[in-house]
A and B are shown apart, each in its own frame.
Chain A
């Protein structure tokens, strides 16, 4: 088995601040994902990466940057935090890209912007 570790678990930021969320996986999976979870809206894909140094935009990439410097890690940057923003950011990995592959999720980073 493996695990996905997201840090920090809770993140409080100020409006306009640049914030970075980190994700590590030890599954040795090729593909990693960042999703945003808002109550009543399901999960929306921000970025994904099919291999080291690859980046692909999802449906919600505006306002975010991502980085995949090595296979085991994938970071997400909120380029300018929005006032009163509250959301959970979920990192996931899968053995490969594709519509039949199981996603393995971390426990999430909960963001609050003052």
Chain B
């Protein structure tokens, strides 16, 4: 079945470090891929979205590229700030044979940025 794998449960960095959060997915359809971010005390919110039509998404200094060959959708940021501390979810939207596909959430990666 369709699934998303985030192996990193927690990432701890210092300010200005490079961020890389790993995400791989599995689907037989044409996916839409998302990164959602959840700040403490809030619900998740969309960070960026990529479809098969545009394989790279960029938002607020974060970027993610959809790689069909390796079925990966890693999240990167060149220089993190303390305010980026949050939980990041990789999400797969499968086509499912219709326009009414399902969303599959990864387990989430807790990012802690030390000032």
Contact = CB atoms under 8 A, between A and B. Distances in A.
A43 B105 contact: yes
B62 interface: no
Nearest to B108: A42
A99 B46 contact: no
Interface size class of B (residues with CB under 8 A): 20 to 34
B45 interface: yes
B32 interface: yes
B57 interface: no
Interface in B82-115: 89, 93-96, 99-103, 105-108
B103 A103 contact: yes
Interface residues of A, number: 20
A107 B106 contact: no
Interface string B43-59: 11110010100000000
A99 B94 contact: yes
A98 B101 contact: yes
A106 B89 CA distance: 16
A42 B108 CA distance: 6
A90 interface: yes
Classify the secondary structure of A's interface with B.
loop
Given A100-B51, A100-B93, A42 B43 contact: no
Given A97-B100, A98-B100, A99-B94, A105 B45 contact: yes
A43 B49 CA distance: 18
Contacts of B93: 99-100
Contacts of B51: 100
A103 to B, nearest CB: 7
Interface of B: 4, 9, 31-32, 36, 41-46, 49, 51, 89, 93-96, 99-103, 105-108
25 contacts: A40-B9, A42-B4, A42-B105, A42-B106, A42-B108, A43-B44, A43-B89, A44-B105, A90-B44, A98-B100, A98-B101, A99-B31, A99-B32, A99-B93, A99-B95, A99-B96, A99-B100, A99-B102, A103-B36, A103-B44, A105-B42, A105-B45, A107-B41, A107-B42, A107-B43
